[in-house]
Structure 1
């Protein structure tokens, strides 16, 4: 899935690696960091991109890792619960992205090419905080996704007939 990342979304300095944090999370639950889970965490955090479960399964198999689809789905759910990944519910699927070690941000999703564009906007955060204060609410975060058509897809699908412009 193509994506764009703004310069102000560089990784943050964190106290431990995603693998260490996941191991701690699993230990608290009485579970182990198995080799397939370790491979998944290393693969997912080796680059910053948005992906869905099917893309991850395909990428792992292309990299020579024989990890079952069921293990991928269960591990993705655990990584979200652990706060290492964030699930983005898009128009027709769920995508995942790094949560641990990355600043809070929002998204635009092109419904034509599936591109996800990340951005930060202080006005959105201030509006969230003002609304929360007015209602006596303490926010822990928010999810804001703008659905639409990116500039590249808009140019590629420029109307050719005058009636299409209406």
Structure 2
């Protein structure tokens, strides 16, 4: 199976930091140095992560950000439209929402791998269903759960050993 091509970032008019600053100002809050570090760190690479992984990454990079600040800031970043929350089988993961095209996911319940993909048929179905009910659909979340090829191969080898 060939993995789907990586999704390319979209052109955006504001940086993630500027967009977050604007969102916070509307709420009467400030973009603190810790919050700015979080946004910079998260948008420095495109990957799926959970809060604990983010805390660990920050510690390894030498950034001093408290766990409670990480959790509160992630919630604010989701509310601001910068991040998207993915509720998976055994954890909640986050990914970039701002500056990335709409897409869907496959989640391996064996190893936890998350694969992004785009499929125009899914978008057409979303629009058709919306039209059918007079609903203007502007987004959706679609996560296929199952086993990736590597986990299926490993599982198959274990089963053969069980037969000995």
Do they superpose with TM above 0.5?
A: yes
1:146 is aligned, of 135, 138, 144, to 144
Runs of 4+ in 1 over 4 A off after TM superposition: none
Normalising to structure 1: TM-score of the pair?
A: 0.92
User: How many aligned positions are there?
Assistant: 159
1:53 maps onto 2:55 in alignment: no
Structure 1 partner of 2:160: 160
Change (3 A) 1:143 1:82: same
Q: After TM superposition, list the pairs within 5 Å mapping 1:1-166 onto structure 2.
A: 6-7=5-6, 9-158=7-156, 159-160=159-160
Distance 1:65 1:131 in 2: 46
Normalising to structure 2: TM-score of the pair?
A: 0.93
Instruction: Structure 2 unaligned segments of length 5 or more: list them.
Output: none
Higher relative contact order (CA 8 A, sep 6+): 1
Distance 1:131 1:38 in 2: 40
Of the structure 1 ranges 150-159 and 97-106, higher mean CA displacement relative to structure 2 is found in 150-159
Deviation at 1:10, TM superposition (A): 0.3
Deviation at 1:5, TM superposition (A): 6.2
Deviation at 1:161, TM superposition (A): 6.6
